[in-house]
Structure 1
């Protein structure tokens, strides 16, 4: 797919709109080229989208789950048929290596497929009565209009993980992707149109996050907001939702620990660490950010990890051989540099990497391993969101648990041990919603995704994911 600058539009009530608005440039962080523009929508467009979704909800929610599944199955197939175009768009707008982008398209489509079927299994209940002449029922009803606000790092999967259960349950949806990577969302909207979704069921807004969010948080016709992003913004949405007691799902920040016990398969632990840490250049909410290795295997682990990281190739994500793409922007690069420089100044040793790459015009940082870190260093306290692996030595299972839990976040954690008893006991003490045991890639459509503590509210994926989009209505029937 040739890189070219195209003007894209947003979609409200089945119409492509926004040509009269100012535009936002979408920039490829691998080379600083403008690869597209999108309309700079605001409050007016958001209000129009809310009205469209509200009107469409009346008929969409009355369709059978089987009928709604038909639309979703068409969308799933269209995504797979258009995998390469979606992947290329993803790579040029946010830098992800092309093979990772192709994988994300399949992963994103799997949520549409999963919830097409799961929507048929939103069961109510019949409860044994406490009195003759009564019948007690629980019915499940779609919550209503949903607004989905998603980040730049997974432009397809973060949308479909919300679209799938919302649409399958009978809700209508307003999608607001990040302004740094909206082009994939535009293509997904085109595929929704091709799948035949009725007007207003799916709407796409681009532009001002603050102005659009203001409308969806204040308009009572929006009954549910699902958001993936920073904990700081998530807390703001919680406060803004209070006036209407608006239903929220929040997938927020993480600071994932990875624990390697002294009986671990070290080669497997290294492979899992690289898979988790360096996917998307470390710009994922569940990537391993803090590595705790027991002293008996510490040196071996660091040596093998360093060797593996040195072999990773950095470059433009359109190159099939590239393992690590760019960071999303200069702010992201500056944060990574600050974390590594702070660790070095406090006595940590950089085993490989440790510097920005400045000779290619993009926003790149060398894949980095830092050993002998400690809890005083910023890299062990803040989510780096970059290709940096800090490794700290621990002496016992209890010390590893204590350090792993010493964070306000609780999204994901990883444990490598070959001992079932040790692993089970250690994991039971970890305060994280997702745990990979000898597994650096635990995500899947059929499992619940979400965190504890300040990492969010609710779950996405699995059968739990669709429950976030329905309300339970208890009905007591008096017979006479």
Structure 2
């Protein structure tokens, strides 16, 4: 019989606020510190990154390379892929660690994640940012809002939201009884598959279920392996016990296949492409008879996000927000603006503003802080985006008014590209590109309502969208018409930049399950509530009063 854990107080977690972001302005101490971290990382490459199973480094000898996308001849790290035997060992090890972790009091689990958040915002801030910049092609600002601020926010607010979730209890108790609810972790293990484009997402995909008492097998994206490894280092230093998260880079078919066919597979926590997510969902369905429980499927996938302007919109706001949303991080955000609908009465001014703003965009190495944009992530990504640009050049209904050039001789660089089309259902208006390309359709200002219907119904995705308007009735109409077109909807703001604790993130349709990362809702997906009723009085007789003669 195990010894019960004493509960000696009801703890309250510290007040949580969003991590303040540093500016990295010329001469600032943070710019100097980050430049130093970049130089230090440069001096260490290529790094050798192992799998981490049961807390032990494992080098399988099945080595792949992660290159710097802005300088693709330079290898950032060689990482070891998990083989079939190691995946099995990782799953078995996670399940072996489960009992102790599940029984660890919430206050102790919370303390680990609060410490990890403090580590990422202080000791590890510039290391994880440098890893994200060199490995994933992010500029200093994009790395700051991702790997430093959002990572800390996910972990701190996760603790706050978990506390709130645990506090949701039955409101009524019959005489002589006490009703209560506990939020058990799932039976089995959670399988997390994280993307290349946000280091913080990796920290949350593995971290959120683990905070709730689950164990996790984590497969990071190949193009984000090193930053993911640093994230694991932070959690380990914060006190995460061995085996609770198993870090297993590896080929997707083998690793994913083994995880999804295991009887103890309990949940998928995924961010990536719609195509892959649908394939995984089908695989889970085909294995449904093998599982102990019905697995939870949580996924955030693609987007074809929009900016819609009313005839009263502020031109400068439309211009500045569209440039940022479309071209920050080279359009490689699932929330990036990829299609825009502008009224003809404002189009001449908007066009002039876009061209002027576009002329100020500098593209190049992320190590030179003057560059607003860097490279796309890989050669396949470069080729895909290049293909869309080449298609637009040949399409009679499309005109490239800015950008349209590319060069992969040193890095995977594509000039931010603005396309204007006369066909609102052209390829670049409807297909996800995931690169620095935005397509604009100019509509007749008097056809606002009709165009809202077009925006709402011309995409399979429903992740983010923005409406620019200074007319409140037009804004209300737009918000209503676009209700199901975006899970994150912005008014007079860009469609990127959701902040944990402020705009919970996620969308519907082909964009995912809309479980809202950065809120208590997503944590609820990784628990299985148990209702408990305790009676204090003995039942005197089984007969009901209605049974009496």
- State the partner residue of 1:346: 396
**Deviations for 1:125-165, whole angstroms, at most 9, x for unmatched residues?**
22546x877655433212242111011111x1111222332
- State the partner residue of 2:498: 443
Q: Superposition pairs for residues 261-340 of structure 1, below 5 Å? A: 261-340=310-389
Q: Does the CA contact (< 8 Å) of 2:203 and 2:231 recur in 1?
A: no
**Deviations for 1:229-273, whole angstroms, at most 9, x for unmatched residues?**
111111111112221331110101111111011111111111111
**Deviations for 1:356-376, whole angstroms, at most 9, x for unmatched residues?**
135x51111111112234234
Which of residues 257, 266, 270 is equivalent to 1:214? 257
1:378 Cα deviation after fit: 1.1
Q: CA RMSD in A?
A: 1.8
1-side partners of 2:500 and 2:206: how far apart? 13
- State the partner residue of 1:152: 196
Q: Does the CA contact (< 8 Å) of 1:119 and 1:165 recur in 2?
A: no
2-side partners of 1:122 and 1:55: how far apart? 27
2-side partners of 1:205 and 1:363: how far apart? 27
Structure 2 residue 282 is the aligned partner of structure 1 residue 239: yes
Q: Superposition pairs for residues 71-82 of structure 1, below 5 Å? A: 71-81=112-122, 82=124
Q: Does the CA contact (< 8 Å) of 2:70 and 2:366 recur in 1?
A: yes
Structure 2 residue 78 is the aligned partner of structure 1 residue 29: no
1:442/1:29 CA distance change after superposition, 3 Å: closer
Q: Which moved more, 1:261-270 or 1:140-149?
A: 140-149
Q: Does the CA contact (< 8 Å) of 1:448 and 1:463 recur in 2?
A: no
- State the partner residue of 2:129: 87
Structure 2 residue 164 is the aligned partner of structure 1 residue 121: yes
Structure 2 residue 532 is the aligned partner of structure 1 residue 475: yes
- State the partner residue of 1:397: 448
Per the alignment, in what secondary structure is the counterpart of residue 107 of structure 1?
helix
1:282 Cα deviation after fit: 0.5
1:215 Cα deviation after fit: 1.7
Count of residues in Structure 1 that have an aligned counterpart in Structure 2:
476
Instruction: Show structure 2 runs of 5+ residues with no match.
Output: 1-37, 539-549
1:222 Cα deviation after fit: 2.6
* TM-score (normalised: structure 1): 0.95
2-side partners of 1:309 and 1:168: how far apart? 43
1-side partners of 2:422 and 2:359: how far apart? 19
Structure index of larger Rg: 2
1-side partners of 2:504 and 2:142: how far apart? 22
Structure 2 residue 147 is the aligned partner of structure 1 residue 102: no
Q: Does the CA contact (< 8 Å) of 2:169 and 2:180 recur in 1?
A: yes
1:109 Cα deviation after fit: 1.6
